Amino acid sequence: MERLDKVSVEIDMSVHHQTFEGWGTSLAWWANVIGGWSEERQQEIVQKLFHATDGIGLNIARYNIGGTKNADDPFLEYGKAILSYQNEDGSWDFSRDHNQRSILQKIAEIVDAPIFEAFSNCPPWWMTNSYDPSRPDGAEGSTTGGLEGGDNLKAGSEADFAHYLVEVVRHFQEVHGITFRTIAPFNEPVAGWWKYKVTTQEGAQILPEQQQIVIREVYEALKKSGLSNTFISASDESFVQMALDTWNAFDPETKALIPQVNTHTYNDFDYNPQEFLRTVTFDKKKLWMSEVGFENGVHPTIDPTSMSGASKLSAGITKDLKEMRAEAWVYWQAVESNVSTWGLIFAPFEQNEAESYTMYKQYYALGNYSKFISPGSRLVANNGQKSLTAIDPSGKKVTIVTYNDSDTESIEYTYRLSGLPNPSSVKIAVYRTSVKENLQQLDSLLLENGTFAAEAICHSVTTYVIEL
């Protein structure tokens, strides 16, 4: 017989934490592939991800400024060759990267107030230490990492790299009407796994001392360009402890140039973000969780009913927003191919003439959060380990999301909301994702005197929406 545990969640509506900016995804590399699909299919995918009612309401997109020379670089996996807009001789070709740009423009058309961030995985190939111009294939693999995993931005190229990033951002604003709120010049720059002709994606080791030089040069380039609405974010390290170590390595002058601190959270779920949060908060910086991904079972198994990835995603969101108090939550690959099962949507990229795709449970589970916790919401204190609470900007809608990752146990929750402006009886809309349900609306519940009870079944994510 299924066991039914009982848990009480105390929600203090008078204690507000961070103001939340929204939900998003990076566009590398899925947009480089999907942007080559038919217009109809492109629109379908963008709508499913970014439309507020017909999709799951994402509002943040991270655009990848590429550094690769050849689209057929043999050391990069399918779809991962994001070409540099600038050539070694200094000339520019802004017709490149049409596919990713096509997706970005469609997002700009359907999201009311999108937040765009431009980020770099690797400098342009000729700025790397692994580029060997004496060989015909000297640029092949040069953006996958440094020689033996070493540093891969040439000393003395920091200003050129900064100019490249800022010029791309300026072009998008002036020609395409797209403003990037931030530039992130690095991606996991101290991780140690970017290796020449070994790694199968763009990446570059750039250690804190050189990062500071780049940051100062980007700041100066932004000033000269007149891009007063674009700022710097850094350093997009892989783990929270790495992010803290890099931030602590920066001098006060460099920190003053960075209004937004980005971190990835590829940690186990036991990570403690408290010191990082205290440090970033003390320095009065915005804090983003800018990249993470979760595998949905063992590759290459494709199981659209599996809740494995959805449970991990829910646990990650809850910890990142509740304990680290991230002000944005950005998934890595919204659409993924045969390479892994990380995506919210599965689409076999190669030889996919039908442009077919399948929704993973991660898609619906993220929707349990992103469709209901809107930009501008405030996170609210609660003592539930697996529950997240937010109040919308109007102060009239409370959202509670609870996940149950147990294989065997349903849980009976009693939610008690203190500090409500009007504790009288109101209806609660309920939406659940589980093995058999995809954001399915269930029978409504009743909030009476600030209290209601509900069952969280095994392998489920449930959203409760209370209109005050």
CA pair distance 217, 211, nearest whole angstrom:
10
Closest CA to 125 of 63, 188, 72, 204: 204
User: And the tokens for 415?
Assistant: 């939610």
User: And the tokens for 377?
Assistant: 């919401």
Report which DSSP code applies to 202.
Answer: -
CA pair distance 168, 63, nearest whole angstrom:
11
**Residue 80's pLDDT is what?**
96
Domain locations in the chain as residue ranges: 3-13+381-467, 21-372
CA pair distance 326, 328, nearest whole angstrom:
6
CA pair distance 21, 11, nearest whole angstrom:
22
Q: What is the CATH number of domain 3-13+381-467?
A: 2.60.40.1180
Please, are residues 355 and 343 in contact by the beta-carbon 8 Å criterion?
no
Closest CA to 22 of 101, 121, 112: 112
Q: Cite the DSSP H helix spans in 25-140.
A: 30-34, 39-50, 98-110
Please, are residues 249 and 242 in contact by the beta-carbon 8 Å criterion?
no
Given its phi and psi angles, is residue 449 left (phi above 0), alpha (psi -120 to 50 degrees) or beta?
left
Count of CB atoms situated within 10 Å of the CB of 303: 16
CA pair distance 223, 24, nearest whole angstrom:
28
**Residue 1's pLDDT is what?**
36
CA pair distance 454, 442, nearest whole angstrom:
11
Instruction: Going residue by residue through the chain, which has 468 residues, state the pLDDT in tens, using 9 for 90 and above.
Output: 345 688 999 999 999 999 999 999 999 999 999 999 999 999 999 999 999 999 999 999 999 999 999 999 999 999 999 999 999 999 999 999 999 999 999 999 999 999 999 999 999 999 999 999 999 899 999 999 999 999 999 999 999 999 999 999 999 999 999 999 999 999 999 999 999 999 999 999 999 999 999 999 999 999 999 999 999 999 999 999 999 999 999 999 999 999 999 999 998 778 899 999 999 999 999 999 999 999 887 777 678 889 999 999 999 999 999 999 999 999 999 999 877 788 999 999 988 999 999 999 999 999 999 999 999 999 999 999 999 999 999 999 999 999 999 988 999 999 999 988 776 789 999 999 999 999 999 999 999 989 999 999 999 999 999 998
Closest CA to 155 of 207, 202, 190, 221: 207
Report which DSSP code applies to 196.
Answer: T
Sequence-distant (6+) residues with CB within 8 A of 374 are 22, 57, 392, 393
Fold of 21-372: TIM Barrel (3.20.20)
**Residue 3's pLDDT is what?**
53
Q: Which residues are paired to 7 by β-bridges? A: 413
